[in-house]
Structure 1
C-alpha cells in the first residue's frame, strides 16, 4: 500500500512538472515565429497531454512513452534546451516501463530522435549531453532494478521463512498443549480412578478374608467397595467432561475433607486426628488441589507407611493456605523417593503458584506440607 501511495505522489509531481513545462513553449512561440519553436511547443504540449492520459489509463503507457520520445526529438530543435530536457525526462522511461529492457529500448529511441535533431540543428553539444545522460540512466536504472529485484526476492524468502516458522510454532504449541493435556489427564486418573481401584482391591481382599468369620466386617467392606466404585464412576464422568467435578461442592472444602478422612479410617482402620477450621471458602482449583493432595497422601499412608495414626492440619495464613499431613509410619529416605504421586502433587501445586515439601526418615514417619498462595482465591 505504501509503494502505491509513493507511486501516486511521483505521478502528481510529474503532472505538475509537465504542466509547468507545457506553459514554456507557448510563451516562446508567441515571441518567436520560427517553425522549430512552434513545433517544439506543440510536441511538449502533446507530451503533457499524453502523460495526463496515461496517468488516467495505465493501459496506454507504451503510447505515452512513444509520444514522449517523439516529443523530445522535436524539442531538440529548441536552441540550447533539447538535450537538457532529454536528461530530465529520462526517469519517465524507467518509471513507466514494465521492465528494464523496455526502458532501455524506449529511452534509446528517444536518444536517437533527440541526438539526430540536435545534430541537424547544429547543436552537437546537446547531442553529446543526451548520449551521456542516456548512458548514465541505463547504468543507474539497471543497478536500481537489480537492487529492487534482490530486495523483492529477499522479502519473498523472508515471508516464506516467516510463514514456515509460524506454522512450526503453531504445531509446537499444539503438541505442547496436547502433551500438557495428556499429563493433566494422567495426573487426574492417578489421583482419582487409580486410587479408587487400589482401594477397591484392598477392600475386596479384606472382605474375602472375612467371609467365614466376620459377616459384619465383610458387609461393611462391601459397602465401601460399592461406594468407592460409585465415586470412581463419578470421577470418570468428570474426566470425559459429562459432569461437574465429582466429590466437591461449591464453597468450603472442609466438608469434603472430613468425608475423605472418615472414609479412610473406615476402610483402613488407621486413626486420623484432624485439625480443620470450621470453614475455608476457596475457588474450584484450590479445593481440587487440597483434596487431591489429601487423597494422594492418605493413599501413600495406606500402601507404604504401615502407620497407626495420621495427623491432618489445614491452616489459613495471612497470604496462603497450608495443608500438613503427618504419619507415624516407617518413613523413607526423601532424596531417594520416586513416584508419580509425589510428582503429580508437586506439579499440581506449582501450576497454582504453590509448593510441596516432603520431610521424613526411615523409622520416623513422613510429613507432607502443601502450601498454596491465596491470591484472593480463599
Structure 2
C-alpha cells in the first residue's frame, strides 16, 4: 500500500476513535462509570491492536520481505493470513465497543476501507457485509426497533466508503499490469537488439574472413607457388639466390599458416541450425580414428549460451581433440558437457601419455593452441585448467559463468 494512503487511513481511524470517545464518554454524556471504564479499556485495546498491525507485517508496504517494488493493494500476492488475523482482531474489539454504544459505528468507515484494501475481494465483501450487519444491529438495539433509517444509514455509509476504494484499487491494478507489460516489452526489445547486434557481428566476421581468404590468403599461396617455381628455374650455380628464395618461401608459408589460423578463428562453426551439444557430439564422433575410442556425455538441460560462448567451447573441443590425436597416443577420449544453473562446464579427458603442464602448450601447427583457448575463456569471464601427469593422461576443463538476465 502506498505510504500516503496508509497514513491517511490511519489518521482517519485515530480521528474517528477520538471523536467517538468524546461523543460517547466525553463531558456532558450520561455514561456510567462502569461504561466509561469498559469503553476506555476497549478503546486502548483497539488502538494497541491497530498499532501492532500498522508497524508490523500486516500491511503490504510494512513487510521488508517484498521482492518487487510495486505490490498490489491486497495481500493475495503475499500472505493474506496475517492481514486477515489482524483485521479479525480489530473487528472483534470493535464489535465489543458497538455492543456498548452504537456511536462507535463511525469506526466502520476506516475499517471497511481496510477490508477492501488488505483482503482478497471475496473476503473483503464478506467482511464489509458483516461489519454493516454489526452497525445495523447496534443501532437497532439502541433504538429498540430495526427500521429503514437504521438500515439505510449504515448501508449508504458502507457504499460511500468502499465503492471509491474499489475503483481506485482497480485502476491501481491496471496501472501495475501496464507497468509489468512495459517492463516485459523493454526486456524483449533489449534481447532483440542484442540478438541483432550478435547477428551483425557474426555477419561481419564472416565477411572479413571471406575477404582475407580471397585476398591475403590467396595472394600468399600465389607467392609461394611463384617462389617454388623460381627456385626450380634457378641455375645450379646460384646458391645465394636459392637460399634467399627458400627463406622467402618459408616466411610466406609461415604467414599463410597464421592467416589460415586467423580465418579459422574468424569463421563461426556450423551452430546456426545445430545446438552446441549436437555439434560437439558430431565432432567427437568424427574424431574417432584407429585405436582411439571417443565418447560424449551431456549433463543437465541445455539452454542458450550465446554465439560467442558456443564458438569458444566448440573451438576448445576441436583444439583438445587435435592434441589428443596428434600427441597423446591415447586409447580413449571422453568429452563431457554440463549445464548448471549459473555456469556451463566442458571437460576433455584422455588416457594418453600425458605431459608436463608447466611447458608451453602449442598445437601441432605451431599456433597458440590451448594457450589461446585459455585467453578466450578469460575474455568471457571463464577459467581453463589443464591437469596432466606423464603416463596418466590429460584433463582439460573449462568453466564459463552465465550472467544473470541472459547471455550476451
Q: Calculate the TM-score normalised by the size of structure 1.
A: 0.49
More helix by share: 1
Larger radius of gyration: 1
